[in-house]
């Protein structure tokens, strides 16, 4: 399905290197800072466009985002494990943390750096217990959709909290209602008051146009659709060099827009 050896990564431009260091530097309380783009490799959205997930990941990694995630909602466990095993060395070569969505078992088998779970997935404490049994140190992210979910989430042993959807999205079935930027601003203040320094990942309908607003709030932005060509767009080869260069350009533009917006503090 895909090449298994990671492609040699070209040296990023100097400005990106500086942004990357700023985005990953540990904060005073040693929580890794997450800023910029959190790119999601969504196998369904990619399949609808005929894009290979590994070639797509290689293209995204050239932009050195803050994190990547494999989200494979409808594949078999075996396929997701194969994909994660192909992604782990690529993400490591780019020094970008790879999160597996929903499946701590597969994440641990493949050696991922992190796991993302939502309100209906395994509880965070169970994921921690599983990781401990496997002797692995992992970062865990947890989804929330409103204040009633955010408050209990902040008491969990998590490494970041996700909040969404901020804007309407077509890439999540039965998504919660979009909360908008003013409500996000309130929730960001709540996190800062209760768990200062805990990284926040905003998600849902985020585009290059809205990215600066999120960067200005000091949050990371998780993105599926804005990394992709529109569905049905005519491209002679969605996995050809021009199409993949366009993916890198979108990732770079989003990451830069998020990092260059003036964050508080
Ligand atoms: C970074 C990030 N934030 C939120 C989600 C959504 O997780 P969840 O609510 O469990 O929904 P699914 O993605 O599993 O359908 C996410 N995956 N990543
Ligand atoms: C996977 C996911 N989770 C969400 C949440 O609100 O928890 S919104 C979402 C879809 C994000 O895709 P896009 O960037 O194309 O809107
Ligand atoms: Mg989930």
For residue range 140-156, what is the model confidence (pLDDT) as tens digits? 999 999 999 999 999 99
Please give all residues whose CB falls under 5 A of ion ligand 3, grouped by chain where several chains appear: 102, 118, 121
Of 73-87, 155-169, 214-228, 235-249, least confident by mean pLDDT is 235-249
| Position 234 confidence tier, pLDDT thresholds 50, 70, 90 | confident
Q: Is the pLDDT of residue 91 over 50?
A: yes
Does 16 fall in a domain?
Answer: no
Known binding residue 70? Answer is yes
Q: Is the pLDDT of residue 18 over 60?
A: no
**How confident is the model over 218-228, as a mean pLDDT?**
98
CB 187 within 8 A of CB 218: no
Known binding residue 28? Answer is no
Does 22 fall in a domain?
Answer: no
**Predicted pLDDT at 29:** 40
Q: What is the DSSP string of the chain?
A: ----SPPPPPPPPHHHHHHHHHHH-B-TT-PBP--SEEEEEEHHHHHHTT--HHHHHHHHHTT--SEEEEE-SSS-HHHHHHHHHHHHHHHHHTT--EEEES-HHHHHHHT-SEEEE-TTSS-HHHHHHHHHHTT---EEEEEE-SHHHHHHHTTS--SEEEE--SS--SSSTTPPPP-HHHHHHHHHHHHHHHSTT--EEEESS--TTTHHHHHHTT-EEEESGGGSPPTT---S-TTSHHHHHHHHHHHHHHHHHHHHS----
By percentage, how much of the chain surpasses pLDDT 70?
87
Q: Name the average pLDDT for the chain.
A: 91
Q: Is the pLDDT of residue 27 over 90?
A: no
**Predicted pLDDT at 30:** 47
CB 224 within 8 A of CB 40: yes
Q: Is the pLDDT of residue 172 over 90?
A: yes
Number of domains in the chain: 1
For residue 175, the ligand 2 atom closest to its alpha carbon is: 6
Q: Is the pLDDT of residue 23 over 80?
A: no
* CA-proximal residue: ligand 1, atom 15 (nearest): 172
Q: How many CA atoms lie within 13 A of 224 on its CB side?
A: 25
**Predicted pLDDT at 264:** 73
Does 14 fall in a domain?
Answer: no
**How confident is the model over 8-25, as a mean pLDDT?**
53
| Position 108 confidence tier, pLDDT thresholds 50, 70, 90 | very high
* CA-proximal residue: ligand 1, atom 8 (nearest): 118
**Predicted pLDDT at 100:** 98
What pTM does this model have?
A: 0.91
* Domain that residue 239 falls in: 31-260
* CA-proximal residue: ligand 1, atom 11 (nearest): 118
Q: What is the CATH number of the domain that holds 159?
A: 3.20.20.70
| Position 123 confidence tier, pLDDT thresholds 50, 70, 90 | very high
Q: Is the pLDDT of residue 139 over 90?
A: yes
Does 10 fall in a domain?
Answer: no
Q: Is the pLDDT of residue 89 over 60?
A: yes
CB 131 within 8 A of CB 157: no
Known binding residue 176? Answer is no
Does 75 fall in a domain?
Answer: yes
| Position 232 confidence tier, pLDDT thresholds 50, 70, 90 | confident
Q: 15 vs 142, which has greater pLDDT?
A: 142
Does 24 fall in a domain?
Answer: no
Known binding residue 101? Answer is yes
Cα–Cα dist 140/151, whole Å: 17
225 lines ligand 2 (CB under 6 A): yes
**How confident is the model over 242-257, as a mean pLDDT?**
97
**Predicted pLDDT at 157:** 97
By percentage, how much of the chain surpasses pLDDT 90?
83
Counting ligands in written order, which one lies closest to the CA of residue 172?
A: 2
Does 17 fall in a domain?
Answer: no
* Count of positions (residues) in the chain: 265
**How confident is the model over 184-213, as a mean pLDDT?**
98
CB 251 within 8 A of CB 63: yes
How close is the Cα of 191 to the center of ligand 2, in Å? 20
172 lines ligand 2 (CB under 6 A): yes
Does 5 fall in a domain?
Answer: no
**Predicted pLDDT at 33:** 76
* CA-proximal residue: ligand 1, atom 4 (nearest): 143
């Amino acid at each position: 399905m895909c090449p298994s050896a990671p492609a040699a990564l070209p040296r990023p431009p100097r400005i990106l290197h500086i942004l990357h260091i700023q985005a990953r530097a540990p904060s005073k309380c040693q929580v890794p800072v997450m800023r910029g783009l959190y790119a999601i490799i969504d196998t369904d959205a990619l399949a609808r466009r005929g894009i290979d997930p590994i070639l797509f990941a290689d293209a995204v990694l050239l932009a050195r985002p803050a994190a990547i995630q494999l989200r494979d909602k409808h594949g078999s466990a075996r396929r997701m494990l194969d994909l994660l095993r192909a992604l782990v060395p690529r993400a490591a070569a780019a020094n970008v943390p790879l999160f597996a969505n929903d499946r701590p078992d597969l994440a641990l088998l493949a050696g991922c750096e992190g796991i993302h779970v939502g309100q209906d997935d395994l509880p965070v404490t169970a994921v921690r217990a599983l990781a401990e049994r496997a002797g692995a140190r992992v970062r865990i992210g947890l989804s929330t959709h409103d204040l009633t979910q955010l408050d209990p989430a902040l008491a969990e042993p998590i490494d970041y909290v996700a909040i969404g959807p901020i804007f309407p999205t077509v890439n999540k079935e039965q998504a919660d209602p979009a909360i908008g930027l003013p409500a996000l601003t309130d929730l960001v203040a709540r996190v800062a008051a209760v768990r200062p320094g805990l990284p926040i990942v905003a998600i849902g309908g985020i585009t290059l146009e809205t990215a600066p607003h999120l960067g200005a709030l000091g949050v990371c932005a998780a993105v599926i659709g804005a990394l992709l060509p529109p569905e049905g767009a005519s491209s002679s080869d969605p996995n050809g060099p021009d199409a993949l260069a366009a993916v890198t350009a979108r990732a770079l533009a989003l990451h830069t827009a998020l990092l260059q917006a003036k964050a508080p503090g």
